[in-house]
Amino acid sequence: MSTVMEPPKKAGADYTNQILNLVKAKNPAEPEFHQAVMEVFESLRPVLERHPEYHEAKILERITEPERVLMFRVPWFDDQGKVQVNRGFRIEMNSAIGPYKGGLRFHPSVNLGILKFLAFEQVFKNSLTTLPMGGGKGGSDFDPKGKSDNEVMRFCQSFMTELCRHIGPDTDVPAGDIGVGGREIGFMFGQYKRLRNEFTGVLTGKGLAWGGSLIRPEATGYGCVYFANEMLKTRKDTLEGKVCLISGSGNVSQYTVEKLLDLGAKPVTLSDSDGSIYDADGIDRDKLAFVMELKNNRRGRIQEYTSKFKKAIYSATDKKLDHNWLWNIKADCAFPSATQNEINAKDAANLIKNGVKVVSEGANMPSTLEATKAFLDAKVLYGPAKAANAGGVATSGLEMAQNSMRISWTREEVDDRLHKIMIAIHQNCYETAEKYGTPGNLVNGANIAGFLKVANSMLDQGLV
Ligand code: NDP
C-alpha cells in the first residue's frame, strides 16, 4: 500500500460527514438506519482517502439509497372472522454483485427504518460471504406470537400474494429472520408456487423434502461459533471450557448453544423478550432439547426452563433498568443472538469488567456504537454481526446453488463449506483490518472488505 499517492488528509472524513448528514436529512426518524450507516462510514474513511474515484462516482450516495422500496397492505382474517391489516415491506437495497438476498422479519417493532438498516448491513455481509448475492430485507409488523397456525397461514398467503410480483430465483430471494422460521417459509412458498405455477428456489430455509438444504437451520448459530473460534485462534486459545452467555432463544441462539457444546464450551444463559435464564451448571444437550421443543413446537416462554430445571435462575426483563441483567453475569464469551441494540455502553462495561474475552454477534447490530467502541478499546476479540453471523446467508447461497443444480449435498458437505466460508470471512476481515492500519479491528476489516467488492462492481456497471 506504500506506493499509493499521498491522500488529501481530510477527504474521507469530509465526504462521509457530508453524506451522513444527507442520509439523516433524507431519512428522518430512522435512527437504526443512521446508526448502521455511521458505523460503516467511520470505517471507510481511509479507503475514500486512497480512492477518490468512489467520491467522483458518488458511491456513498448511491449505496445508501435503496434500488427499490416496496411497501404494501396485508389484509387477512383472524380466527374470529375479523379483518386484520398489517403492513408489508421489501427493501431491494443493492444488486451489484447478485440477486437481492436477505431475510423477512415478522415482529411488531418492524418499520421502514429497521428494515433499511438490516438491508444496508446485508449488502456488506453478503459481499463477505464470497458468494454472488446482493442485499435486501423485508418483513411485516405482524406478530406471529399468540396466533394460531391457521392465522399465520392466512397472513403469509396474503403477504406473498403481493410480494410474489417482485421476487424470483434470479431477482430477489428472501429467507427467514425474527418470527419467520420453517412454518412461515412453507406457507409463503406454497402460495408463491400456486400463484406463479412455478416450483423454483424463490425462498431459502425451505423444508428438506421440497428444496431445502441440510444445515440451513443450524447455519447462523454454527457460523457464529466458528467465527468466535477463529478469533480465539489468533490468540492461540480455544472455546474448550469457556463459559458463554447467549441471549435470545430462537433459531440463532439454539444452534449457537449446540455448536458450543460440540466444541467443549459451557453455555449458561438464554432469554426471550420477557426475561432471561441463568443455569450455572451449564445448558447441556438434554436441556437444549427441552428448549427446542418449548420454543419451536409449544411456542412457550423461556421462564418455563426454571420450572423444569430447578437450579436455574430466572430474571424478568426490567425496561426501567439501564442495563441487561444477562450481560452482567461473569463469562468468557458473549453471543448476543436476539435483536438490535441489546448491548448498550453499560452492558459492554459490565462484560469487560467481568473479563469477557470474545463477543461474537449472532444478531444483527446487537451492540450500540458506544458498546462497539468499548469492546474495541478494551481489545476484546469482537466479531461484528455482518461477519460473525454471515453463515446463515452463506448457507442460503449454498441452498440456491443446490436448487439451481437440482441436487442435494450431504450434511457433512454443507457444514464443511460453511466452516470454510467462516474461516475465509475471518481471514479477509483480519487481513483487511491490518492492511488499512487498524490491526485486530474486525469492524473496519468487515466494512472495508465488504464495501470494496460492491463499490468496484458498481463502478464496473456504470451509472445504474
Ligand atoms: P427468532 O425469531 O427465531 O428468535 C428471536 C429471539 O430473540 C427470540 O428469543 C425473541 O424473543 C428474541 N427477541 C426478538 N426481539 C426481541 C426484542 N425486541 N427484545 C428481546 N428479545 C427479543 O429469530 P432468529 O434467531 O432467526 O434471529 C435472531 C437475530 O439473529 C436477529 O437479530 C436476526 O436478524 C439475526 N440473524 C438471523 C439469521 C437467521 O438465519 N435466522 C441470520 C443472520 C442474523 P421473543 O420470542 O420473546 O420475541
Q: Looking at the structure, tell me whether residues 353 and 306 fall in a common domain.
A: yes
Check pocket membership of 273 for ligand 1, CB cut-off 6 A.
Answer: yes
Question: Domain check: are 183 and 238 in the same one?
Answer: no
Residue 230 and residue 148 in one domain: no
CA distance 36 to 40: 6
Task: Give the β-pairing of 243-246 and 333-335.
Answer: parallel
Catalytic (active site) residue 137: yes
Helix (H) / strand (E) element for 443: namely: helix 442-460
User: Probe ligand 1: pick from 120, 125, 178, max atoms within 8 Å of CB?
Assistant: 178
Buried b (16+ CB within 10 A) or exposed e, 235-266: eeeebeebbbbbbbbbbbbbbbbbbbbeeebb
- Tell me if 394 sits within 8 A of 129, measured CB to CB: yes
Same domain, 245 and 300: yes
Ligand 1 mean position to 179 CA, how many Å?
A: 7
SS3 464: coil
What whole-number distance in Å separates Cα of residue 427 and Cα of residue 230? 8
Q: Give the bridge partners for 101, in sequence order.
A: 173
For residue range 289-347, what is the model confidence (pLDDT) as tens digits? 999 999 999 999 999 999 999 999 999 999 999 999 999 999 999 999 999 999 999 99
CATH code of the domain containing 92 = 3.40.50.10860
Q: Residues 224, 195: one domain?
A: no
In a domain, 315, yes or no: yes
CB of 392 within 6 A of ligand 1: the answer is yes
pLDDT for the residue 12: 82
Per-residue pLDDT reduced to its tens digit, 387-406: 999 999 999 999 999 999 99
Neighbours of 56 (CB within 10 A): 9
Grid coordinates representing 129? Answer: 460471504
pLDDT at 32 exceeding the cut of 70? yes
Q: What is the pTM of this model?
A: 0.96
Residue with cell 447461497: 397
Which residue has the CA at smallest separation from atom 29 of ligand 1? Answer: 363
Q: Give the ligand 1 atom nearest the CA of 270.
A: 9
How many angstroms separate the CA atoms of 363 and 234, rounded?
A: 23
Q: How far apart are CA 318 and CA 146, in angstroms?
A: 22
Average pLDDT over every residue of 59-79: 98
The DSSP string of 33-97 is: HHHHHHHHHHHHHHHHHH-HHHHHTTHHHHHTS-SEEEEEEEEEE-TTS-EEEEEEEEEEEE-SS
Indicate the residue among 362, 383, 404 that finishes a domain.
383
Please check whether residue 72 lies inside any domain of the structure: yes
Within this chain, do residues 229 and 168 fall inside the same structural domain, yes or no? no
Kindly state the cell numbers that stand for 55: 467520491
Q: Is residue 398 part of a domain?
A: no
The predicted pLDDT at position 9 comes to 53
Give whole-number Cα distances, 331 to 42, 61, 269, 334, 356, in Å: 30, 42, 10, 7, 6
Full residue range of the structural domain in which residue 89 is found: 68-199
Strand 313-316 to 275-278 pairing: antiparallel
Is 139 within 8 Å of 153 (Cβ atoms)?
no
Q: Does 157 map to a domain?
A: yes
Per-residue pLDDT, 11: 80
**Which single residue is written with the C-alpha cell 431519512?**
27
Residue 308 sits in the same domain as residue 159:
no
Q: Which residue has the higher pLDDT, 8 or 55?
A: 55
Confidence of residue 4 (pLDDT cuts 50, 70, 90): very low
Catalytic residue among 137, 266, 287, 357: 137
Q: Is the pLDDT of residue 5 over 70?
A: no
Whether 147 maps to a domain, the answer reads yes
Helix, coil or strand: residue 99 = coil
Task: Give CA separation, 275 vs 209, 249, 316, 338, in Å.
Answer: 36, 11, 4, 12
pLDDT > 90 in the chain, percent? 97
pLDDT tens, residue by residue, 166-183? 999 999 999 999 999 999
Pairing of strands 100-106, 135-140: parallel
Cell of 391: 453463515
In a domain, 39, yes or no: no
174 within 8 A of 401, measured Cβ to Cβ: no
Residue nearest to atom 42 of ligand 1 (CA): 392
**Whether residue 186 is found in the same domain as residue 72:** yes
Average pLDDT of the chain to the nearest whole number: 96
pLDDT-derived band at 10 (thresholds 50, 70, 90) equals: confident
Rounded distance from Cα 249 to ligand 1 centre (Å):
8
Copy the grid coordinates of residue 386.
455482518
- 137 and 230 share a domain? no
The answer to whether the CB of 248 falls within 8 A of the CB of 241 is no
Q: 191 in a domain, yes or no?
A: yes
The upper half-sphere exposure of residue 357, i.e. CA atoms within 13 Å in the direction of its Cβ, equals 17
| Number of independent structural domains in the chain | 2
